[in-house]
Amino acid sequence: MHPDVQEILISEDRIAAKVKELGERISEDYRGKDVLMVGILKGAVVFMADLIRHVNVPLAIDFMAVSSYGKSSESSGVVQILKDLDQSIEGRHVIVVEDIVDSGLTLRYMLDNLSTRKPASLKICTLLDKPSRRKADVTPDYNGFVIPDRFVVGYGLDYAENYRNLRDIAVLRPEVYSKG
């Protein structure tokens, strides 16, 4: 275990099983349709890479990068699009792939923005959901795990760009992210 980790919240094996289950559900729900999965950089990359290998319908991918955190552990509430989509979503079945839904403020902004681009459908797939922190009306359509209000890293999730490479979802020691 990494020295900055307080505890393992979700093991690599549990993550793998849940990602497979989500991929199978998406495949069933979108049978006969083409899907565009939009990964939210950088946190969703690991999750999305594993997820698409379990989706068995025609599939394209694209990415968006948004920021409301910077190097803080709290969202600023101000959302910036750092990288927009490379392709049109008009008339397409879009699934936004997120690592974690926390306050929902960033995701709400993104969904409002994407819905103006006239997709055929717009759904959310997240690995982690922290409903206790919700400040915006956002409910994931595909949800891996509901987690308590703990500061988590690993499997793509970071703190100040570190810990993304951990294989488990882990709780970060408070002294690590509360340094002045």
pLDDT at 178: 86
Mind listing the pLDDT tens digit for each residue in 5-17? Answer: 999 999 999 999 9
| 98-131 residues labelled b (16+ CB within 10 A) or e (exposed) | bbbbbbbbbbbbbbeebeeeebeebbbbbbbbbe
**Average pLDDT, whole number, for the chain?**
93
Instruction: Classify domain 12-148 at the CATH class level.
Output: alpha beta
102 is catalytic: yes
Mind listing the pLDDT tens digit for each residue in 73-128? Answer: 555 567 889 999 999 999 999 999 999 999 898 899 999 999 999 999 999 999 99
Rounded mean pLDDT, 132-159: 96
Instruction: Please state the domain extents for the chain.
Output: 12-148
Dihedrals phi, psi of 11, to nearest 5 degrees:
-75, 160
Number of neighbours of residue 82 by Cβ within 10 angstroms: 10
Is it true that the peptide bond before 42 is cis, omega within 30 degrees of 0?
yes
Indicate the length of the chain as a whole number: 180
Global pTM reads: 0.92
Does residue 20 surpass a pLDDT of 90?
yes
Residue among 50, 99, 102, 168 flagged as catalytic:
102
How many angstroms separate the CA atoms of 127 and 62, rounded? 18
pLDDT at 129: 97
Mind listing the pLDDT tens digit for each residue in 65-87? Answer: 987 755 555 555 678 899 999 99
Mind listing the pLDDT tens digit for each residue in 54-63? Answer: 999 999 999 9
